Chain A
Amino acid sequence: MSYLNIQQISHYYFNQNNYTNALKDVSLSIEKGKFTALLGPSGCGKTTLLSIIAGILKPSEGTVLLQQQEINKKITSIGYMLQQDYLFPWKTILQNTLTGPKIQGELTDKSIEKAKELLEEVGLGSVSDASPNSLSGGMRQRAALARTLMTNPSLLLLDEPFSALDFQTKLKLEDFVSALLKEYNKTSILVTHDIGEAVAMSDEIYVMKANPGQIHQHFEVPEEVRNLSPFEARRHEKYHELFDRIWEELNQLEAKSKNR
């Protein structure tokens, strides 16, 4: 049995006068310590799937098992970074980082110390008392990452954490996050619609298709690329090979959905 098992998940959203089938029969399993990317067009249910894994959205059908345990709202070993940073503007960066411990009633001197160390590590030590509004996009993302890491989650869900950033910041942050997660041996799922990012950062890639959201195909990233940092990986020839294959695949998907 794998670390994380997603079994036959289907999800429907209901509106006033119709419904959306956001996910249909999605099953996948993820090994401990692996970095998995979910790739797919907008609206294919990536965010929905992450919310279900995080236990904050109950799927219409199916189960998610984390270490053989069915997940629920109480499980705190999952960290989830939303599509935007959602830092609380009325709190300082340090207070934002301490959100998790505060909610869980573990706001101690030790946790404050840990938060400061974490902020130091993500390069925000000097702005820990600043308001989020005075930070740049990249800094805010790093603060959100620190907030997510604060509760020491063993499974990390990242919903397009770099999509709002300029290219250069994005490359730097990719390297940074990748190194950090390797160091702590986290299991991670990264949602993105950037093929390059998926190939450069992850060990496995699942390509999804929309209407309804389904897993379309599974790719393994070659060993040579995996062991490189994202920035170096982008220059490896196998990176380009896989990039082209996935690109092809997505193009075909798009063509098919247009023909319908």
Chain B
Amino acid sequence: MKQKAKTGEQLFQEHVNQLKRDRRNTRYWQLFIFISFFFLWEISSRLGWIDPLIFSSPTRVSKLLSENLLNGSLWFHLRITLLETIAGFLIGTISGIFLAFLLWYSKKFSDIIDPYLVIFNALPKVALGPIIIVALGTGYISIITLGAIICVIVTALVVYNGFRSVDPNYIKVLNIFGATKWEGFKTVIFPASLPTMISTFKVNVGLAWVGVIVGEFLVASNGLGYLIVYGFQVFNFTLVLYSLVLIAIFAALMYQTVAKLEKWLIKKL
């Protein structure tokens, strides 16, 4: 009897150890790929397997990185792009949720607007870039708008569907107590659809980056998107790759932050 219990314990311990080992193994592989990528990039650039003028090399990129870090240019451009992305993300997400609320609140409104939403959703929003720039000027406003407009309709449609899939009997419970439509939204629809809304955040972070970078391609005179275009024009591909690396790092960080926020919020609910 006692023997048996001990084996169960041991098996469990082995299982835990196995899991740990697997996880460590995965990490090693990830690290291996990471290092070999930069190693290969460096080697092939040095040995001339790839054109160093186009593909640059990790050492050159990191040299530029440390230079720009010291002279403040990194922070200057990064800050602008980050702020634009965050603003675009917030404005796009919040107005998307607000639009979803309007669609939910008035069936008439949602029926009327439906075909326009479908068209606008299908339209590649970056194609609106030139029009937005003509209308709003060549400043930050246009770039933020582009970042926002790219998420707003998807958010509205997804969140509206979330609102509608809430069991109407919950609303019935409130109506028995004489609740108004707005109270029903506040007490039931909104909290019940929070998980849906948070899941749109993750998608929107990626979308806002697309909008902002394209916006900077089109008009900006600073920011990471601008650096890419500038580097391309003066054939400085170290600069292009440097901007790309920065974008990759910070897009991933932002995504992780939102994912953390999601976990935290879900746990709190």
Which residues of A pack against B, CB within 8 Å?
Answer: 51, 54, 56, 73-76, 78-80, 82, 84, 86, 88, 90, 99-100, 102-104, 151
Q: Nearest 6 A-B pairs (CB), nearest first? A: A103-B177, A100-B177, A80-B176, A56-B175, A103-B179, A90-B269
Instruction: List the B side residues contacting A54 at CB < 8 Å.
Output: 176
CB of B177 within 8 A of CB of A56, answer no
CB of B177 within 8 A of CB of A86, answer no
Would you call the interface of chain B mostly helix, strand, loop, or mixed?
A: helix
CB of A56 within 8 A of CB of B172, answer yes
CB of A56 within 8 A of CB of B176, answer yes
Would you call the interface of chain A mostly helix, strand, loop, or mixed?
A: loop
Instruction: List the A side residues contacting B269 at CB < 8 Å.
Output: 90
Instruction: List the A side residues contacting B176 at CB < 8 Å.
Output: 54, 56, 78-80
Binding stretch for chain A, among B3-11, B120-128, B183-191, B224-232: B183-191
CB of A103 within 8 A of CB of B191, answer no
Q: In the complex, which of the residues A74, A82, A90, A102 contacts B173, with contact meaning CB atoms closer than 8 Å?
A: A82
Return B179 CB to nearest CB of chain A, in Å. Answer: 5
- List 9 interface pairs A-B (beta carbons < 8 Å), by A numbering: A73-B178, A74-B178, A84-B169, A86-B167, A88-B170, A88-B187, A99-B187, A100-B177, A103-B183
Return B2 CB to nearest CB of chain A, in Å. Answer: 34
A102 to B178, CA, bound (A): 11
Instruction: List the B side residues contacting A151 at CB < 8 Å.
Output: 177
Instruction: List the B side residues contacting A84 at CB < 8 Å.
Output: 169
CB of A76 within 8 A of CB of B178, answer yes
Any A CB within 8 A of the CB of B174: yes
Give me 14 other A-B pairs in contact (C-beta within 8 A), A73-B175, A88-B191 excluded.
A56-B175, A78-B176, A79-B176, A82-B172, A82-B173, A88-B170, A88-B188, A90-B269, A99-B174, A99-B187, A100-B177, A102-B187, A103-B174, A103-B177
Instruction: List the B side residues contacting A90 at CB < 8 Å.
Output: 191-192, 269
A63 to B170, CA, bound (A): 26
A137 to B84, CA, bound (A): 51
Instruction: List the A side residues contacting B170 at CB < 8 Å.
Output: 86, 88
Return A36 CB to nearest CB of chain B, in Å. Answer: 19
Question: Which one of A76, A79, A99 has the greatest number of beta carbons of chain B within 10 Å?
Answer: A99
**Which chain A residue lies CB-closest to B192?**
A90
**Which chain B residue lies CB-closest to A87?**
B173
Instruction: List the B side residues contacting A56 at CB < 8 Å.
Output: 172, 175-176
A225 to B176, CA, bound (A): 32
Q: In the complex, which of the residues A51, A82, A88, A104 contacts B177, with contact meaning CB atoms closer than 8 Å?
A: A104
Instruction: List the B side residues contacting A51 at CB < 8 Å.
Output: 172
Instruction: List the A side residues contacting B169 at CB < 8 Å.
Output: 82, 84, 86
Instruction: List the B side residues contacting A99 at CB < 8 Å.
Output: 173-174, 177, 187
* A-contacting residues, B181-202, CB 8 Å: 183, 187-188, 191-192
A236 to B176, CA, bound (A): 37
Return A64 CB to nearest CB of chain B, in Å. Answer: 15
Return A87 CB to nearest CB of chain B, in Å. Answer: 9
Return B262 CB to nearest CB of chain A, in Å. Answer: 16
Instruction: List the A side residues contacting B172 at CB < 8 Å.
Output: 51, 56, 82, 86
A74 to B177, CA, bound (A): 8
Instruction: List the B side residues contacting A86 at CB < 8 Å.
Output: 167, 169-170, 172-173
Return A150 CB to nearest CB of chain B, in Å. Answer: 9
**Which chain B residue lies CB-closest to A72?**
B178
A88 to B187, CA, bound (A): 9
Instruction: List the A side residues contacting B167 at CB < 8 Å.
Output: 86
Interface code B143-186, partner A: CB below 8 Å = 1, 0 otherwise? 00000000000000000000000010110111111110001000
